[in-house]
C-alpha cells in the first residue's frame, strides 16, 4: 500500500511486521488487552486464538499475582480475582463489584466451593444433598476471559446405607494429553476409600480409577485441607496410613498422567511433634509455595509456633526443608490453646527474599500477615467487611478456554 503526499508524490510502502514478530510481541500482552486486540484484524485474531500461541502466552503470564476472593452481596456470594499486592497497598479499598466478571451464586443454594486452579482455569464444585443421594457437579471458569462452562454431568452418590460418607476433590492438568481433570475420592463413614472417579473437562461422563490405595481419610476435629493440591503433575491429599499399628499421617499422591497413586512421607520432624498427639486433634495443611509442595502445622501441645516445610524435590522425602518456624507471639496472634480450633493459618505466598504472606482467620475475622524473616517484622492487614473469603488456590491469567 502506498499513500499520496500533499504534493502528489508517492511515499514508500508502510512497513509490515512478520507474523513471527507479531506473535512474539503479543505474547507479552496481558489477557484483557489481547481480547480487545483480536478485533484489530483477522490475522491478529487468528494468532491470538491459536493454541500454540495460547500455550506460549501462558508460559509468560506472571505467576503468584492473583488470589480468588469472595464476599456476600445480599443473598448472593460474588467471587473475583484480586491482585496480591492490593491486599497490602490499600486493603480498605478492596471491594468486589458485581458484574459479568464475577462468579455469582446464591449463598443458600446447594453447597459450593472452589476445588482448585490450573493454567488460568478455576474449577468450582456444586452439590445438592437429599435423604438418599448426593449430587455432585463441576464448572470451569476463566476469570480473565469471563468464560464459564455449563454444569458437568452429575455424579450421583448413594448415601442411603451410609449417610456419613463424604468426598474429597482435586483439579489439575494432564500435560501429556492436554486434559484438565477433576478427581473425586469417596470415603465411607469409617474413613475408608470406597471409590475414586475422574471427569475430563469436555466429557459428558465420569469414569472409575481402579487400584486405589488402602488409606484412611484425614478426618479430624482440628483442621486438615481436604481439596487436593496440584503440583508437579500430581494431586496430593493428607491421609492416614492403614498399614501400621498406629495412625501415621502421610501424603497420598495421584499422578494425573498415569492415574496411579503413590505414598509420600511427611517431614521427619512432623512425626516427632505428633507422635503422642491424637490424630483427631491434628492441625495441618498442604499447599504450594514457589511451585514446591509444602506442609504447614503448629506444635500442638505447646501451641506456640507455626511451622512450614517445603519439598524441594517432589517425591524425595530427604528434600523436605523447614522454611518457617515462627511463634504466634511474633505473628501477633492472641489465641488461647483451648480456642486453637477456631484459628486457621495458611501460608499463601513465599517470596524469593524469604518473606511470607500468611492468611489468618480467627472466628470470622479475616486478616493477612506479611512476615519479613530477615528483619523479624510483621505487617498485619485487616480486610474489614470487604472480603469474607480468600481461597487458597494459585491463579494466573490465561487464554485457556473452559468451553
What is the rounded average pLDDT of the residues 217-245? 76
Domain identity same for 54 and 77: no
On whether residue 396 sits in a domain, the answer given is no
Confidence band for 354, pLDDT divided at 50, 70 and 90: confident
> Is the residue at 402 inside a domain?
no
Task: Flag whether 398 is in a domain.
Answer: no
| Residue 70: predicted pLDDT | 79
C-alpha closest to that of 172 among 244, 257, 263, 251: 257
More confident residue, 402 or 62: 402
Residue 12 lies in a domain: no
What does the H/E/C string look like for 70-84? EEEECCEEEEEEEEC
- The confidence score (pLDDT) of residue 204 equals 94
Predicted confidence at residue 205, as pLDDT, reads 94
Residues with Cβ within 8 Å of 121's Cβ and at least 6 positions away in sequence, in order, are 140, 141, 142, 180, 201, 398, 400, 402
Give the count of alpha carbons within 13 A of 310, CB side only. Answer: 16
Q: Are residues 240 and 368 in the same domain?
A: yes
Answer yes or no: do 107 and 236 share one domain: yes
CATH code of the domain containing 291: 2.120.10
If asked whether residues 117 and 43 sit together in one domain, one would say: no
pLDDT band, residue 229 (cuts 50/70/90): very high
Q: How confident is the model at residue 217 (pLDDT cuts 50, 70, 90)?
A: confident
pLDDT digits (tens, 9 = 90+) for 49-78: 999 999 999 999 988 778 888 777 777 778
Task: Lowest mean pLDDT of 280-284, 341-345, 373-377, name the range.
Answer: 280-284
Per-residue confidence (pLDDT) for residue 189, from 0 to 100:
80
Q: How far apart are CA 183 and CA 209, in angstroms?
A: 9
Lowest mean pLDDT among 209-223, 246-260, 340-354: 209-223
Structure-model confidence comparison of residues 399 and 86, the more confident one: 399
Q: Compare 380 and 2 and report the one with higher pLDDT.
A: 380
**pLDDT value at residue 99:** 67
Confidence of residue 196 (pLDDT cuts 50, 70, 90): very high
Give 273 or 134, the one with higher predicted confidence. Answer: 134
Q: What is the pLDDT of residue 74?
A: 73
Number of domains composing the chain: 2
**For residue 295, is it within any domain?**
yes
Give the mean model confidence (pLDDT) for residues 9-16: 62
Question: For residue 15, what is the DSSP state?
Answer: P
Residue pLDDT, tens place only, 91-130 = 555 566 666 667 777 655 555 788 999 999 999 988 888 8
In terms of pLDDT, which residue wins out, 195 or 248?
A: 195
Choice among 18-27, 242-251, 259-268 with the minimum mean pLDDT = 242-251
Q: Are residues 44 and 76 in the same domain?
A: no
H or E element: which one contains 37? helix 31-37
Q: Do 53 and 69 reside in the same domain of the chain?
A: no
Residues 24 and 113 in one domain: no
Domain range for 26: 19-60
> Sorting pLDDT into bands at 50, 70 and 90, what band is 381?
confident
Q: Is residue 327 assigned to a domain? A: yes
Cα separation, 398 vs 143, in Å, equals 9
Instruction: Identify the band that residue 166 occupies on the pLDDT scale cut at 50, 70 and 90.
Output: confident
Whether 403 is in a domain gets the answer no
Whether 287 and 249 share a structural domain: yes
User: Domain check: are 42 and 181 in the same one?
Assistant: no
- Do residues 255 and 144 make contact, with C-beta atoms less than 8 angstroms apart? no
Q: What percentage of the chain carries pLDDT values higher than 90?
A: 37
Q: Would you state the pLDDT for residue 137?
A: 92
Q: Does the pLDDT at position 167 exceed 70?
A: yes
Q: Considering the domain boundaries, does residue 323 fall inside one?
A: yes
Same domain, 302 and 272: yes
Residue-wise pLDDT for 322-342, tens only, equals 999 888 888 877 666 566 666
Same domain, yes or no: 47 and 110 = no
Give the model's pLDDT for residue 268. Answer: 83
Backbone φ, ψ for residue 273 (5° rounding): -70, -40
Q: Is 327 in the same domain as 312?
A: yes
Q: Evaluate the CA torsion angle 46, 47, 51, 54 in order and state its sign.
A: negative
Amino acid at each position: 500500500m502506498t499513500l499520496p503526499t500533499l504534493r502528489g508524490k508517492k511515499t514508500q510502502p508502510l512497513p509490515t511486521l512478520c507474523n513471527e514478530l507479531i506473535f512474539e510481541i503479543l505474547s507479552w500482552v496481558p489477557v484483557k488487552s489481547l481480547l480487545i486486540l483480536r478485533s484489530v484484524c483477522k490475522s491478529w485474531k487468528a494468532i491470538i486464538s491459536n493454541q500454540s500461541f495460547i500455550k506460549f502466552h501462558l508460559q509468560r503470564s506472571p505467576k503468584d499475582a492473583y488470589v480468588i476472593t469472595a464476599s456476600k452481596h445480599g443473598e448472593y456470594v460474588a467471587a473475583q480475582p484480586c491482585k496480591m499486592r492490593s491486599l497490602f497497598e490499600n486493603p480498605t479499598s478492596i471491594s468486589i463489584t458485581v458484574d459479568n466478571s464475577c462468579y455469582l451464586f446464591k449463598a443458600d443454594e446447594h453447597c459450593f466451593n472452589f476445588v482448585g486452579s490450573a493454567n488460568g482455569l478455576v474449577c468450582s464444585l456444586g452439590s445438592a444433598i437429599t435423604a438418599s443421594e448426593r449430587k455432585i457437579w463441576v464448572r470451569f471458569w476463566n476469570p480473565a476471559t469471563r468464560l464459564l462452562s455449563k454444569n458437568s454431568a452429575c455424579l450421583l452418590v448413594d448415601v442411603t446405607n451410609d449417610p456419613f460418607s463424604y468426598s474429597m476433590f482435586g483439579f489439575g492438568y494432564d500435560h501429556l494429553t492436554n486434559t484438565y481433570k477433576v478427581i473425586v475420592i469417596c470415603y465411607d463413614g469409617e474413613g475408608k476409600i470406597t471409590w475414586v472417579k475422574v471427569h475430563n473437562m469436555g466429557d459428558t461422563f465420569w469414569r472409575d480409577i481402579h487400584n486405589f490405595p488402602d488409606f484412611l481419610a484425614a478426618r479430624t476435629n482440628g483442621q486438615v485441607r481436604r481439596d487436593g493440591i496440584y503440583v508437579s503433575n500430581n494431586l496430593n491429599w493428607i491421609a492416614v496410613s492403614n498399614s501400621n499399628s498406629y495412625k501415621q499421617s502421610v501424603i497420598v499422591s495421584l499422578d494425573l498422567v498415569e492415574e496411579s497413586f503413590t505414598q509420600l512421607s511427611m517431614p521427619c520432624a512432623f512425626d516427632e511433634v505428633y507422635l503422642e498427639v491424637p490424630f483427631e486433634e491434628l492441625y495441618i495443611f498442604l499447599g504450594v509455595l514457589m511451585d514446591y509442595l509444602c506442609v504447614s502445622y503448629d506444635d500442638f501441645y505447646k501451641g506456640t509456633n507455626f511451622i512450614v516445610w517445603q519439598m524441594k524435590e517432589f517425591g524425595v522425602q530427604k528434600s523436605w526443608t523447614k522454611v518457617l518456624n515462627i511463634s504466634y507471639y511474633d505473628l501477633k496472634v492472641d489465641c488461647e490453646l483451648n480456642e486453637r480450633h477456631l484459628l486457621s493459618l495458611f501460608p499463601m505466598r513465599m517470596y524469593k527474599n524469604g518473606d511470607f504472606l500468611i492468611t489468618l482467620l480467627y472466628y470470622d475475622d479475616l486478616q493477612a500477615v506479611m512476615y519479613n524473616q530477615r528483619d523479624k517484622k510483621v505487617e498485619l492487614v485487616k480486610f474489614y467487611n470487604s472480603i469474607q473469603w480468600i481461597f487458597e488456590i494459585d491463579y494466573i491469567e490465561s487464554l485457556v478456554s473452559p468451553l
